[in-house]
Amino acid sequence: MRKIGSFPSEQQAKRFVDYMLTQGISINVEPAIDLWTIWVYDEDQVDQSKTALDEFLANPEADKYQGVTRQAEAIREEKIKKAVEASRKQVNVRDTWNQPFTSRCPVTSFLIGISIVVFLFMQSDEYNVKVREALSICSFQVSGNMISYDRRLVEVREGEVWRLVTPIFIHFSIFHILFNCMMAYQLGGAIEMNRGSMRLALLVLVTAIPSNLAQFYWGGPGFSMGGPGFGGLSGVVYGMFGYMWMKSLYDPQAGFYVPPNMVFILIGWFFLCMTGMVGPIANLAHGFGLGTGMALGVGSTFLRQAGKSK
């Protein structure tokens, strides 16, 4: 902020401030002894402001300065309105824990609820295999540590298209489901409250299908790595995270905020899983989910901005 001049009259100082606001330049007036000092916030606007000040002092009653107070008030009111709207729209993922959830976030609640129900059924010897066969991307047969299946996805080709999505509801341990449900609660809740249930549902489908297909075809030979032996919300969770992360970086007006510690945890966990130190993990599902979510976040932002520029 730099001082560019002063006025002996408060009325003239305020008129100059109003005029500059109509020109898109914000300045500040500070009272001093018998003077009103003018300060410019932006260093890049100092020269332009000095020129405008000289013109104003040369003829403060010129026609272009008449009526600027009314225009400036309208601009200030619009800025206040936009600030209020932005504050109402702002969604911090931390705040979702304090919001009424089930009624406001039915899609997120559905994801978590079905995952929990499926997990509970899988704890039963009677239903474990049946549930996995019904929800896995394709049917399979298990013999010891070996699994056999048809890579052609016959069931999907015959109409059971839900299998492209339903592996997201399968979880293999209490840690697995707790971590995924907690992150789905935070990220999914934030997106659903900000963008609505329909958009979240589309995001889930668009991230789940490529993540599941990638893990099925390229996940590796292990039972929990490739083929139909994988499961979990992780691919979708990373898709939600990627979407929100890009939105928070490239579209601040979208109202998303991803805390830096969440970025550190999820990216750190992503690379830790890739080392193999935590056991067989659906790394391709994580990677495809993250990449798809990031692409959607960046793509939707630039498409919207391109539409505004036309």
Closest C-alpha to 237, from 193, 274, 285: 285
Domain with CATH 3.30.70.2350 in the chain: 2-88
Write down the residue that tokens 């994988």 correspond to: 230
Q: Kindly provide the b/e burial profile for residues 201-224, where b requires at least 16 CB atoms within 10 angstroms of the residue's own CB.
A: bebbebbbbbbbbbbbeebeeebb
| pLDDT average, residue stretch 55-75 | 86
Domain with CATH 1.20.1540.10 in the chain: 92-309
pTM of this prediction exceeds 0.75: no
111 touches 184 (CB < 8 A): yes
- Topology annotation, domain 2-88: Alpha-Beta Plaits (3.30.70)
Query: If you classify domain 92-309 with CATH, what class do you get?
Result: mainly alpha
Band of residue 225 on the pLDDT scale cut at 50, 70, 90 = low
Q: Specify the pairing of strand 140-143 against strand 146-149.
A: antiparallel
The pLDDT of residue 238 is above 50: yes
